[in-house]
Amino acid sequence: MTPRIRLVLLVAAVLGAVIGLSTLWVHLTLDPMADIRAYHDAASRLNRGEPLYAEGDSMEYFYPPLLATLLRPFVVLPYPVFATAWEALMVAAFAVTLWRLGIRRRATWLAVGILGAPIAWTLSVGQAQALVTLFVSFGSPLGIALAAQLKIFPALIVLYWIGRRAWRSVGRFVAWSVTLVLVQLITEPRGFIDFLAVTNLERVGQDRNVSVYAVSPVLWGAFVVVGLVTVLVLSRTRWGWSAAVVFSTVATPRLLMYMLMTLIAALDRPVQPGGARVTGSASLPDGFVRALGRRTRRHLDACGRQRSGAGTATSGYPLSTGRSVDWPRCPPP
């Protein structure tokens, strides 16, 4: 990265942080922890035997019933206690996300600054987007399946594994998704059926919607097709994971600014089979790491755990496949 690009990113991070502080002040002043009410009321309706998706509700619940079902035991608490506990959970989820990305990485804090406004909005109103971001940062089939049961569109990240022909990861994602759907059908069958009935483009709305769909549904359709192809093409490159996370975040027809918080998860990469996290050019097909010698695998595991953000250096190991790969900068095996 050239010094000029670093300067541009630093300036963008500083400006983003200033806008983020302003956004935090606005929401803490006007509507602090506002979205928590939607989750509380949804779970309370289930406890009273009422429909989960109430028509005319000022605080609409847009998500699958899983979250509301899990919150049912906790809404018996006084609302201030419930709201405080939920807000603490969202802040903790964000903190864990930063820890996973690497709190000593310069890229992490640059991303936090640039995305200051979405992060501030999410945390100030208690939005579940903080949980979505954490689940996506795990980079695992289970994490993506859980995120998709909150906001649906994170399911598009499976394109990353499809493009890499990582069928085991695809299978695990499908298995976890089916399991979570079955749990909802068993615990809240009416709510899940109602969710399928009310989920349509008529609920998108135009209020503060920054999606391409708000400009033109036709343009949005073309954007989705182009994005899908782009993710599949880039999936086997070092940009594959980032492309999948970005596409899954911005592809939704109802895109509010706080949802952009999840873009921070594009900094990390999913764990490879066998536990190794490849932090270099990552153009290896799944299963390739398992074909390496045991000593080299241990070397890759150690390098992957460094995650110091110091960059990568091409050491060009000549492997049995005849391919040279950029590995993390660390002592040779």
Q: Indicate the domain borders of the chain.
A: 3-155+166-203, 276-333
Q: Per-residue pLDDT tens for 97-150?
A: 999 999 999 999 999 999 999 999 999 999 999 999 999 999 999 999 999 999
Q: Which tokens is 243 given?
A: 């492309």
pLDDT band at 248 (very low <50, low <70, confident <90, very high): very high
* Residue 37 zone, left/alpha/beta (φ > 0; ψ -120 to 50; rest): alpha
The neighbouring-strand residues paired with 327 are: 313
**pLDDT per residue as tens digits for the range 29-79:** 998 999 999 999 999 999 999 999 876 555 678 899 999 999 999 999 999
pTM above 0.85, yes or no: no
Does residue 293 surpass a pLDDT of 50?
Answer: no
Task: Work out the average pLDDT over 239-249.
Answer: 96
C-alpha dihedral sign at 245, 250, 255, 260: positive
List alpha helices for the chain, DSSP H. Answer: 3-30, 34-47, 66-71, 79-101, 106-114, 116-125, 129-138, 141-151, 158-163, 167-187, 189-198, 217-234, 240-250, 294-306
In 3D space, the residue among 58, 126, 46 whose CA is nearest the CA of residue 92 turns out to be 126
Beta carbons of 138 and 37 less than 8 angstroms apart: no
Q: With beta carbons less than 8 A apart as the criterion, state whether 230 and 244 touch.
A: no
For residue 17, pLDDT beyond 70: yes
Taking all residues of the chain, what is their mean pLDDT, rounded to a whole number? Answer: 84
Radius of gyration for the chain, computed over Cα atoms and rounded to the nearest angstrom: 21
Q: Helix or strand or coil: residue 328?
A: strand
